[in-house]
Amino acid sequence: MRREALLNLVRGFLMGSADTVPGVSGGTIALLVGIYERLVHAISEAARALGAALRGRFQEARARFLGIDWLLIVPLLVGLLVAVVSLARLVEYLLEERPQDMAGVFFGLVAASVWVAWTMIRRPTAQHAVIAVVVGIGTFFLLALRAGDVTDPPIWAILGSGALAVCAMILPGISGSFILLMLGMYEFVISAVNDRDIGTLAIFALGAVIGLAVFSTVLDAALKRYHDLIVAALVGLMLGSLRVLWPWPDGVDSADLGAPPADDWVLPVALAIVSAAIVVGLTLLARRAPRRVEAAQPTE
């Protein structure tokens, strides 16, 4: 149990690290480390428990509350929060000083994650490929949209941005940070984190709780009923999201595409290849481990 809790703490830290980068989704990391469906279900159960309590059904709320996968949720949340608070300034610096290199790393990670997600489809067909391509194209053009930075947003805007951003955080391919960029709220929220603006962060968190409660319930039901179709759509989201991770001309701070410069492409490409290879290698090792355990078990 301690080992599982520690592992989930690390998973949460990785998710939080990803969520601080515009263009990288914590949902992609959850998918990559094998906890995506478990996480969505746990969040959905928490939302149902809260809904039952608000309706006065306290016995149902208690039963659902006790059934939540707390061994996953608590360490994951702690790791996520630690990452966001501790890495916000570092990520802000790297995005400003080394945007192409950062984009190369995450481009490789997400590109490899597309393959990981596709292998999760239980019975892949041409229909799933069409869904992935259509969603990918739609996401590609959607991510070209941008809004100007908002300097003094009203409370409803902070609340709404929290709800939308957290929904994106559990969708592989679209990051909560990039949703904030599209809304013009990224700089405002990052500044609130760095300045420890508790009031603003509380309003943002309330919006996140509301958005997460509604969206996780819908997504959990969809995964149970239409697993392969939903995973195919998630593959498309990740494919389309590669637009904002293309390292040129302006790295992760731009959705504009350009050709690699003749004198500055080797390191971003090398980092993309290395990060993709690490993802593929770790995934293959993780999938072979259960087979080795089964092979080592004595037969009766």
User: What is the per-residue pLDDT across 83-112, written as a single tens digit (0 to 9) for each?
Assistant: 888 877 777 777 777 778 877 887 887 788
- 22 — pLDDT class (breaks 50, 70, 90): low
HSE-up (13 A, CA, CB side) for residue 94: 17
| Cα–Cα dist 32/273, whole Å | 17
**Residue-wise pLDDT tens digits, 227-282:** 899 889 888 888 887 887 777 755 444 556 766 777 778 888 898 898 888 778 76
Identify the band that residue 36 occupies on the pLDDT scale cut at 50, 70 and 90.
confident
What confidence tier does 174 reach under pLDDT thresholds 50, 70, 90?
low
Arithmetic mean of pLDDT over the chain: 79
**Token pair listed for 190:** 């990052």
pLDDT for residue 281: 79
Q: What pLDDT is stored for residue 23 in this prediction? A: 57
Q: Is 294 exposed, middle or buried (0-12, 13-18, 19+ CB in 10 A)?
A: exposed
Contact between 62 and 45 (Cβ < 8 Å): no
9-13, 173-177, 207-211, 260-264: the lowest-pLDDT one: 173-177
CA–CA gap between residue 284 and residue 115 (Å, rounded): 12
Mean pLDDT of 24-46: 80
What pLDDT is attached to residue 293? 39
Question: Is the pLDDT score of 128 beyond 90?
Answer: yes
Tell me if the pTM is above 0.75. Answer: no
Whether pLDDT at 296 is above 50:
no
Of 191-200, 226-235, 283-292, give the range with the top mean pLDDT: 226-235
| C-beta separation of 268 from 104 below 8 A | yes
Q: Are 175 and 24 in contact (CB under 8 A)?
A: yes
